[in-house]
């Protein structure tokens, strides 16, 4: 993971480690409050107090404004998604094992209530607030996850392990199945009770991808 960048404004005299630690505390506080109250329900004073800052002004040594802090909380989700997908797509793993591992890790990322709430907030903000939009939804990890899954599927096609005329469409379908599971689980509980277990669900969608894209055997 890349080292976080500290605002270039002069900050209170602290070591680099202290700066990074304080920035982490601010991000954690913002993530907690944004996820529970929404973007407009949280002010800089509340975030500063939650982070243990002596003055709200100290927050501006690390972030330009509330909007940049909000976007950073979403950007951290991108890092999480990319780390999950990259770590699970080693080329020496068979497609069924790699895709199943991606699927389980991706869905379990949303076991954290604050992560779920941030996603909900991102969708609402993109739909209702002109200063936020598609870029913020992508910052939440969807685009990053799609990119890595697409790259993995393409590599398997090139190795002859899978066969498909449209790698991107397959990657979109696969990612949408994962998001659908999360959306139904978090927002439509009666429907979720009718879904298979997580392992059964993952096995079904992976089986569809692998068998549907398996390279034809010679002879």
Of 27-31, 57-61, 81-85, 97-101, give the lowest mean pLDDT range.
Answer: 81-85
If one compares 175 and 114, the residue with the highest pLDDT of the two is: 175
In a domain, 219, yes or no: no
Same domain, 35 and 93: no
Regarding whether 173 and 115 lie in a shared domain, the answer is yes
Please write the tens of the pLDDT for every residue from 183-207.
888 878 777 788 888 999 999 999 9
The answer to whether residue 115 is domain-embedded is yes
Highest mean pLDDT: which of 56-65, 150-159, 205-214? Answer: 56-65
Overall number of domains in the chain:
2
Instruction: Please give the residue range of the domain that contains residue 35.
Output: 11-63
**Same structural domain for residues 174 and 205?**
yes
Q: Does a structural domain hold residue 68?
A: no
d(CA 178, CA 101): 12
Here the CATH number for the domain that contains residue 165 is 1.10.357.10
In a domain, 52, yes or no: yes
Do 99 and 190 fall within a single domain?
yes
| Average pLDDT across the chain, whole number | 77
Burial (CB count <10 Å: 0-12, 13-18, 19+), residue 134 = exposed
Long-range contacts: 89-97, Cβ < 8 Å, 24+?
A: 89/148, 89/149, 89/151, 89/152, 91/155, 91/159, 94/161, 95/156, 95/161, 95/162, 95/209, 95/210, 95/213, 96/206, 96/207, 96/210
Is the confidence at residue 75, as pLDDT, over 80? no
Both 58 and 82 in one domain: the answer is no
Same domain assignment for residues 96 and 197: yes
CA 206 vs. chain centroid, Å, equals 20
Q: What is the pTM of this model?
A: 0.64
Q: 5 lies in a domain?
A: no
- Asked if residue 135 belongs to a domain, the reply is yes
- CATH number for position 57: 1.10.10.60
Q: Please indicate, yes or no, whether residues 103 and 150 belong to a single structural domain of this protein.
A: yes
């Amino acid at each position: 993971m890349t080292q976080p960048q500290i605002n270039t404004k002069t900050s209170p005299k602290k070591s680099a480690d202290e700066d990074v630690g304080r920035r982490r505390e601010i991000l954690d506080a913002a993530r907690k409050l944004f996820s529970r109250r929404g973007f407009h329900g949280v002010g800089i004073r509340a975030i500063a107090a939650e982070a243990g800052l002596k003055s709200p002004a100290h927050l501006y040594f690390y972030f330009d404004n509330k909007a940049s802090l909000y976007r950073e909380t979403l950007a951290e989700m991108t890092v999480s998604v990319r780390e999950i997908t990259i770590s699970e797509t080693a080329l020496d793993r068979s497609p069924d094992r790699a895709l199943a591992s991606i699927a389980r890790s991706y869905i379990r990322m949303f076991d954290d209530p604050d992560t779920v709430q941030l996603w909900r907030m991102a969708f609402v903000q993109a739909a209702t607030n002109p200063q936020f939009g598609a870029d913020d939804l992508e910052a939440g990890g969807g685009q990053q996850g799609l990119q890595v899954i697409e790259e993995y599927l393409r590599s398997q096609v090139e190795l002859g392990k899978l066969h498909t005329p449209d790698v991107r469409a397959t990657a979109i379908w696969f990612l949408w199945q994962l998001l659908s599971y999360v959306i139904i689980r978090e927002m439509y509980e009666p429907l979720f009770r009718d879904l298979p277990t997580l392992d059964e669900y993952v096995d079904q969608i992976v089986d569809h991808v692998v068998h549907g894209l398996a390279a034809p055997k010679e002879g």
